[in-house]
């Protein structure tokens, strides 16, 4: 687990500092980060992002046939968001 990794708190600090500086309509906005006190004296770090309401990507892609122009617009949005993230020297780990 992440909480068992000694480098994880430092990574959260680094990433939250970088995330605060990302401004893009294609990236969920950073809200806050912190530390939770858990049962047994353990702690857990977290990063919180804005809630993005909408259709899940899997539902969108499995719906009616998608026009090539829609695919290109979707891909451009994703790539624009990734560019904003990469400019802060971050990598999206689960894309």
Q: Is 29 helix (H, G, I), strand (E, B) or coil?
A: coil
Q: Is the pLDDT of residue 88 over 90?
A: no
Predicted TM-score of the model (pTM): 0.69
Residue 9: other Cβ atoms inside 10 A: 15
Q: Which helix (H) or strand (E) holds 36?
A: strand 30-37
Q: Are 13 and 1 in contact (CB under 8 A)?
A: no
Q: Is the pLDDT of residue 76 over 90?
A: yes
Q: Is the pLDDT of residue 8 over 80?
A: no
Calpha distance 11→13 (Å, rounded): 5
């Amino acid at each position: 687990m992440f909480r068992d990794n000694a480098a994880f708190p430092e990574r959260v600090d680094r990433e939250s500092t970088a995330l605060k500086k990302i401004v893009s309509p294609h990236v969920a906005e950073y809200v806050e980060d912190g530390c939770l006190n858990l049962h047994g004296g353990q702690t857990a770090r977290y990063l919180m992002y804005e809630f993005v309401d909408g259709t899940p990507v899997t539902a969108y892609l499995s719906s009616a046939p998608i026009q090539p122009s829609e695919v290109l617009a979707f891909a451009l949005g994703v790539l624009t968001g990734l560019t904003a993230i990469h400019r802060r020297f971050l990598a999206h780990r689960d894309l």
